């Protein structure tokens, strides 16, 4: 035992190369998987990776690597780790960094850089990556001395995963990976400028308890902060204890069970009538871990006009940013909810309010017109929901298919839903599914994508095939960029400028070229058959499902309108278009 300690000490003091330090640091952080792509500037790192025993997924594009890392982080709660080379390797991850920044996903991203001596000389594959990524990372580093590397990596993991999570980038000049230094990973992280507030202020909690006891029409708007804090149970307990109904943001879905009587659905541009009207009529709005995104609030001038606003968020900058807030609570969602549950306060008398909401729920459910002979995209999502018992991990891109999935896949559990919310990134769903499946090998993973977005990152089918990941990729094929087409129909006099793409590859043959089973359906009956077949197979399957091309997402809050000005709430309203 004593010998081992001495051995350990000796190892710590050993002089090793920067590349080796990186590998040792990743082991110390218990990193299970790296998503990456090699290149000139990271050759020394990849050489050490070769026999390190760390699992590395070679995606076919750096964008695929970072989206996969995002999917992994979303499902596992652990940081996603990415390695990309300098120059184009690094610039290819810019979209993913921004996406992770917007949706608060913890990532630690290593980029290669040209050697220190030639930085600034426009060397081959040189790009000012720290400069480029400053506004789209939570923090970033460029290594100047090999000795700093362990400290930087340790800080990066700490910053990425604590407070409001986010991506941290470490730019490593090539010579920093070959030079040697002492490896000491035991030093504590010391960041005086970074001390996130985790526990709520007691006084503010009391204020909220008081506000709840006086409220007649309270509502909770729960965002992804609840998921990051692992606070789903507490949210349910609190809502039930106080009899307060719950609305989710797009990213929050699954934090509260969709089949719960207190659940009102998703809010915002394509939210449910009940959720949006509840936000309009409420007298107390308790925001837990949501950032009042414009797609949630609609026109701010008529957002929650009758409400006292309370906002629980771990990021103080989000409180009061978009909506004036009476009761600010800077805290981790779980800690705040635990505190709220413990408080003795008279619960709100919400019976009348709940009766009103129940009436709306019954009178204005999500609707679509099912027409025989065509495959309605909404129906397709319902079929996937039923086949997977509502328990699958579902990933999407952005657009119509994303909204239909959010509306019709009724998530019962947290951390089953992986979507690009804030940035709205096409091509996100497929690589994200790879990361999600690697984070949970047992889960059924369905990647629901549009025919547009799929073609942006489809090269990652190769990874799915290579790793034999039994992901079901469902292309909701309307031969158009559906949401763009919808906006052009509604707001640009049906001038479909470059949004219709009937010229597309044979997706089934494409799947087969990747050695993946491909199935196609053009009617509902065919879809039932191919979906059943796909979900009975424990292997990757690509499904090309042709859906009604002119279907729109409803209800809808038009841009610039208030949440109460939704259109398409009832079927007959569609004729108003």
Partner 1 sequence: MTVHNRPGVLNRITGLFTKRHYNIESITVGHTETEGISRMTFVVNVEDERTAEQITKQLNKQIDVLKVHDITDQAIVARELALIKVAVNPAARQEIYTLIEPFRAAIVDVGKESLVIQVTGEPEKVEALIDLLKSYGIKEVARTGTTAFTRGSQKAAASYKTAFII
Residues of the shown chain interacting with partner 1 in the complex, contacts defined by CB under 8 A = 130-131, 134-135, 138-139, 142, 144, 159, 191-194, 315-317, 320-321, 324
Catalytic residue (one of 174, 361, 376, 379): 174
Query: Which token pair is 139?
Result: 């923090």
In this structure, are residues 200 and 336 in contact, taking their beta carbons and an 8 Å threshold? yes
Residue 96, preceding bond cis, omega within 30 degrees? no
124 flagged as catalytic? yes
Please report how close the Cβ of residue 159 comes to partner 1 at its closest, in angstroms.
6
125 flagged as catalytic? yes
Residue 244's SS3 state is: coil
For residue 432, what are the CA distances in angstroms to 61, 89, 130, 140, 397?
13, 19, 25, 23, 9
End-to-end CA distance of the chain: 77
Please report how close the Cβ of residue 326 comes to partner 1 at its closest, in angstroms.
14
In this structure, are residues 106 and 167 in contact, taking their beta carbons and an 8 Å threshold? yes
483 flagged as catalytic? yes
Give the residue ranges of DSSP H helices in 215-272: 224-228, 232-242
User: Among residues 161 and 272, whose Cβ is nearest to partner 1?
Assistant: 161
Please report how close the Cβ of residue 175 comes to partner 1 at its closest, in angstroms.
17
Rounded Cα distance, 45 and 555, in Å: 51
Residue 145 neighbours by CB distance under 10 Å: 12
User: Among residues 315 and 440, whose Cβ is nearest to partner 1?
Assistant: 315
Catalytic residue (one of 12, 125, 147, 479): 125
User: Among residues 156 and 239, whose Cβ is nearest to partner 1?
Assistant: 156
User: Among residues 328 and 482, whose Cβ is nearest to partner 1?
Assistant: 328
- 479-485 own/partner pairs: CB under 8 Å, 24+ apart: 479/451, 479/504, 479/546, 479/549, 480/451, 480/452, 480/549, 481/399, 481/450, 481/452, 482/399, 482/400, 482/401, 482/450, 482/452, 482/551, 483/398, 483/399, 483/400, 483/403, 483/553, 484/399
User: Among residues 204 and 402, whose Cβ is nearest to partner 1?
Assistant: 204
Catalytic residue (one of 24, 29, 35, 62): 62
Q: Tell me the DSSP string of 443-471.
A: S-EEEEEEHHHHHHHGGGHHHHHHTT---
Catalytic residue (one of 483, 488, 524, 551): 483
**By 3-state DSSP, what share of the chain in percent is helix, strand and coil, each rounded to 5?**
45, 15, 40
Please report how close the Cβ of residue 339 comes to partner 1 at its closest, in angstroms.
23
Give the residue ranges of DSSP H helices in 87-197: 88-91, 94-102, 129-133, 149-161, 174-178
β-pairing, 393-396 vs 417-418, is: parallel
User: Among residues 304 and 438, whose Cβ is nearest to partner 1?
Assistant: 304
Catalytic residue (one of 11, 14, 55, 124): 124
Please report how close the Cβ of residue 382 comes to partner 1 at its closest, in angstroms.
41
Please report how close the Cβ of residue 130 comes to partner 1 at its closest, in angstroms.
6
User: Among residues 12 and 197, whose Cβ is nearest to partner 1?
Assistant: 197
Please report how close the Cβ of residue 318 comes to partner 1 at its closest, in angstroms.
9
DSSP character at residue 569: -
Q: Mind telling me the catalytic residues?
A: 62, 124-125, 174, 483
């Amino acid at each position: 035992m004593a010998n081992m300690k001495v051995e350990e000490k000796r190892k710590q003091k050993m002089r090793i190369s920067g590349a080796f330090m990186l590998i040792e640091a990743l082991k110390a952080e218990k990193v299970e998987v790296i998503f990456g792509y090699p290149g000139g500037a990271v050759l020394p790192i990849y050489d050490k990776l070769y026999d390190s025993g760390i699992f590395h997924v070679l995606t076919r594009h750096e964008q695929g690597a970072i989206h996969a890392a995002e999917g992994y982080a979303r499902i596992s709660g652990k940081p996603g780790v990415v390695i990309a080379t300098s120059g184009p390797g690094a610039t290819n991850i810019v979209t993913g960094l921004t996406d992770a920044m917007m949706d608060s996903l913890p990532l630690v991203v290593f980029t290669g850089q040209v050697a220190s001596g030639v930085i600034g000389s426009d060397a081959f594959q040189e790009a000012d990556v720290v400069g480029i990524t400053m506004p789209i990372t939570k923090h970033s580093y460029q290594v100047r001395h090999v000795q700093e590397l362990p400290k930087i990596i340790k800080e990066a993991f700490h910053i990425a995963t604590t407070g409001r999570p986010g991506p941290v980038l470490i730019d490593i000049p090539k010579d920093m990976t070959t030079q040697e230094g002492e490896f000491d990973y035991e030093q504590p992280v010391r960041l005086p400028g970074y001390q996130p507030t985790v526990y709520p202020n007691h006084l503010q909690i009391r204020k909220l308890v008081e506000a709840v006891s006086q409220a007649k029409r309270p509502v909770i708007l729960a965002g992804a902060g609840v998921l990051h804090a692992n606070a789903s149970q507490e949210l349910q307990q609190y809502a039930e204890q106080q009899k307060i109904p719950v609305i989710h943001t797009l990213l929050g879905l699954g934090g509260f069970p969709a089949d719960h009587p207190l659940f009102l659905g998703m809010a915002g541009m394509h939210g449910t009538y009940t959720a949006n009207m509840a936000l309009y009529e409420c007298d107390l709005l308790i925001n837990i871990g949501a950032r009042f995104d414009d797609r949630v609030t609609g026109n701010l001038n008529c957002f929650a006009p009758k409400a006292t606003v309370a906002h629980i968020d771990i990021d103080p900058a989000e409180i009061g940013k978009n909506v004036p807030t009476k009761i600010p609570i800077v805290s981790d969602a779980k800690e705040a909810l635990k505190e709220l549950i413990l408080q003795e306060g008279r619960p709100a008398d919400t019976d009348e309010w709940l009766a009103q909401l129940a009436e709306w729920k019954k009178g204005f459910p999500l609707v679509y017109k099912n027409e025989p002979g065509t495959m309605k995209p909404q129906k397709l999502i319902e079929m996937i929901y039923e086949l997977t018992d509502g328990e699958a991990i579902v990933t999407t891109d952005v657009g119509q298919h994303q909204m239909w999935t959010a509306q019709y896949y009724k998530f019962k559990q947290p951390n089953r839903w992986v979507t690009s919310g804030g940035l709205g990134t096409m091509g996100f769903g497929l690589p994200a599914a790879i990361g999600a499946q690697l984070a949970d090998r047992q889960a059924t993973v369905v990647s629901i994508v549009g025919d547009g977005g799929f073609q942006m990152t489809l090269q990652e089918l190769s990874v799915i095939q290579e790793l034999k990941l039994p992901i079901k990729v469902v292309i909701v094929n309307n031969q158009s960029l559906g949401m763009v087409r919808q906006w052009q129909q509604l707001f640009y006099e049906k001038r479909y400028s470059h949004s219709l793409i009937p010229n597309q590859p044979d997706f089934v043959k494409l799947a087969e070229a990747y050695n993946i089973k491909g199935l196609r359906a053009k009617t509902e009956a065919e879809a039932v058959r191919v979906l059943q077949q796909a979900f009975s197979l424990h292997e990757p399957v690509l499904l090309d499902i042709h859906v009604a091309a002119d279907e729109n997402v409803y209800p809808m809050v038009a841009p610039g309108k208030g949440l109460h000005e939704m259109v398409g709430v009832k079927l007959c309203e569609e004729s108003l278009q």
